[in-house]
Structure 1
């Protein structure tokens, strides 16, 4: 029996479109995803990115909840370095108060919090060549260090935190979030505070991660479900999965590890059509990897006009090689390989196409094939 399929949506802008258009497409896709039978619908959090409109997950999830009936909704992921635990709990507590029992609170570290981890990882990194593990491509790793060290990243970060503020570490944030969800929180003198809404909210808390670092280990140690990003950092997927499983301690909510793995996917009626529709993906990834933030997703003609250098191709090689683009049968087979090798309990699909109809069709074709 196939594991469930879910969706991660960035609300991508396309060339010639604007943020309003991207967000309306998200609402339409969410309605269709529910009809197609997808298990969850998650939205991302990205800031200062010209081609992505999903910057405020809680706000967007409220809009999606209003136009859907039962599909589970969540964040992939709220960036904990940019908000307090209280603001996160109140936002998702409000959602749960209005639409009870439908929300996943997916949490991740902010870019600022990852900077030091990226630097340390680069210092201790061992050379890794591309390899195939039981049919799954594990490419050479990409280093985010230059992007995190860029002036643009520093400028963006200055707008996302209060002057002088120091984000809490992941474990401290989790401690505060779980305390507020359990509420009330009291000090030694008996003073109490209660998150309203938020205390008692029926939320499923997840951690998301792209390596075998702190997020994977913390998710395991706390008995939380974990979402590992093959689509962001395919070179690190096996490391992330192993770190989560090795550190896992059973909890009341999760007596065994609960793992979701993401993948870039584009499905069309046949392999040739899918590959043609996927051509702009490389240009879009290039804009991310050069530190500009994702540009609006190009058309096929715009992608064809892009001038590639060897360096540019190297920047995107891992993401392009691990995008599953093809017919329903081709992509389903690739996803089953990903699921088998990682042992995922669920797969999280992210699909971008310039034409909204092509994007909807991709999700529809995959859902039909997966359930066949």
Structure 2
């Protein structure tokens, strides 16, 4: 049996479209994903991005769960750098009360990552690494965030998402507080109890998302939680991430063995040529993010064809463009099988953005039909 396939959705806003269109398309896609046999439907969290409407994942999760019946729905991931454990538990406790047995709570360490990116701006450049192919899977050189860290929008994001003077607590401590509040075992350092209502006794499936073998992988492993590794965001470090998680894993009441989910960016069409055309705006979209301008509304293939690419532009997005799987159902399914084999993934989660919603729906349907055939 093939491993399960799931979906990560950003509720993309396309060029010429509106936020209302994007949110309605997300609801429609979730319904069709459930019919096609996808296992989970996760909503990402992004802020201040003109091309992304998933800035309030808990709200979207509630809407998607209400519009579907069986598919698991969750966050990929809640950015703990600017939310308190109590706020997260109350939100997802409410969701679990309304949709028991279907809610996933994916957690990410956004606040600490912003601090690390700021430090990278003044750090010496890392040693240059060449691209390599591991058993058929492309592992590109790592992308340096040093230039992005200098963007004034990075500081603006932190200022708008956090109260003045706020500091992001340690990620591991936040995860432990969330687990304690859910279990009804929270005690303050002074010994005082706190009970989250809604939240206490809720049973969302807790996940840790990470892009490297650093703290996120270690926190997931040491607490025996499932781990989601990002090939679509950070393809250079996916093997480092899954290996670190497995090596440090400790069995828990949640998991007896490691459980790894790996992401991929895909576009599927009836043939390779059509898929490549539909995927062609992806480079422009990634370029907007990496230039520190936020994700732009997703361009059309015609806009992408008219863009005059410089060598600098191509280098800026090469790792992401080269690791996107675009092609016919058979082509993409084969590349996903390589990703699963090399990473040892227990589950795959795919994300797709196209300018036309019908093309995106068709992409997911064609992939599911080929994968589960």
TM-score of the superposed pair, with normalisation by structure 1:
0.97
Q: Is 2:317 the partner of 1:316?
A: yes
Q: What is the CA–CA distance in structure 2 between the aligned matches of 1:212 and 1:288, rounded to whole Å?
A: 23
Aligned-pair CA distance for 1:222: 1.1
Question: Which whole-Å deviations, capped at 9, do the CAs of 1:48-94 have from their partners, x for residues lacking one?
Answer: 11100000111000001111001001100000011000000000000
Gaps spanning 5+ residues in structure 1: where? none
2:250 maps to what in 1?
Answer: 249
Partner of 1:358: 359
Give the match's secondary structure for 2:348.
strand
Count matched residues. Answer: 371
1:145 CA drift (Å)? 2.3
CA contact (8 A) 1:77 1:106 kept: yes
Q: 1:194 aligns to what SS in structure 2? A: coil
Post-superposition CA distance 1:296-333 (Å, at most 9, x none):
00011111111211000000101110000000000000
**Structure 1 residues 190 and 231 mapped into 2: Cα distance closer, same or farther (>3 Å)?**
closer
Call closer, same or farther: CA 1:251–1:101 in 2, change over 3 Å: same
Post-superposition Cα deviations, 1:35-56, rounded to whole Å, max 9, x if no partner, equal: 0000000000000111000001
- Provide the residue aligned with 1:192 in structure 2: 193
Distance 1:38 1:147, change over 3 A: same
Could you tell me whether the CA contact under 8 Å between 1:209 and 1:216 is conserved in 2? yes
Pairing 1:281–2:282 present: yes
Structure 1 contact 150–291 (Cα < 8 Å) conserved:
yes
User: How far, CA to CA, are the matches of 2:190 and 2:139 in structure 1?
Assistant: 54
Q: Matched residues in 1 for 2:112 and 2:192: separation?
A: 31
Aligned-partner Cα distance in 1 for 2:72–2:343: 23
Cα distance change, pair 82–351 in 1 and its aligned pair in 2 (3 A): same
Secondary structure at the counterpart of residue 255 of structure 1: coil
Which residue is 1:162 aligned to?
A: 163
For the residues of structure 2 that align with 1:61 and 1:339, how far apart are their CA atoms? 27
- Quote the residue 1:49 is aligned against: 49
Alpha-carbon distance change, 332 to 188 in structure 1, aligned in 2, over 3 angstroms: closer
Query: Is contact 1:184–1:195 with CA below 8 Å preserved after alignment?
Result: no
Cα contact 2:177–2:186 (8 A) shared by 1: no
TM-score scaled by length of structure 2: 0.97
Note closer, same or farther for the CA distance 1:123–1:103 as it changes in structure 2 (3 Å cut).
farther
Say whether residues 1:65 and 2:62 are aligned partners: no
Q: Which residue of 2 aligns with 1:2?
A: 2
In the aligned structure 2, how far is the partner of 1:52 from the partner of 1:360?
17
Q: 2: CA distance between counterparts of 1:283 and 1:187? A: 48
Deviation string 1:193-235 (CA, Å, 9 cap, x unpaired) is: 2100000101111010111111011111111100000000101
Partner of 1:207: 208
* Distance in 1 (alpha carbons) for counterparts of 2:231 and 2:301: 25
Task: Name which of structure 1's ranges 211-220 and 50-59 shifts more when overlaid on structure 2.
Answer: 211-220
Deviation at 1:184, TM superposition (A): 5.0
* Structure-2 separation of matches of 1:357 and 1:188: 53
Aligned partners of 1:143 and 1:108: how far apart in 2? 20
Q: What whole-Å deviation, never above 9, does each CA across 1:109-165 have from its counterpart, x for those lacking one?
A: 11x311343446965844310010000000111112221232111012100000011
Partner of 2:131: 130
What SS does structure 2 have at the residue aligned with 1:185?
A: coil
For 2:349, what is the secondary structure of its paired residue? strand
- Which consecutive aligned stretches of 4+ in structure 1 deviate over 6 angstroms post-superposition? none
After superposing the two structures, state which structure 1 stretch, 283-292 or 261-270, moved more.
Answer: 283-292
Counterpart of 1:349 in structure 2 is: 350
Q: Aligned-residue CA RMSD in angstroms?
A: 1.5
CA distance in 2, matches of 1:334, 1:268: 15
Aligned to 1:117: 116
Partners of 1:300 and 1:183 lie apart in 2 by 52
* 1:151 counterpart residue number: 152
Consecutive unaligned residues of structure 2, counting only runs of 5 or more, are none
Q: What SS does the corresponding residue of 1:193 show, helix, strand or coil?
A: coil
Counterparts of 2:129 and 2:19, CA distance in 1: 39
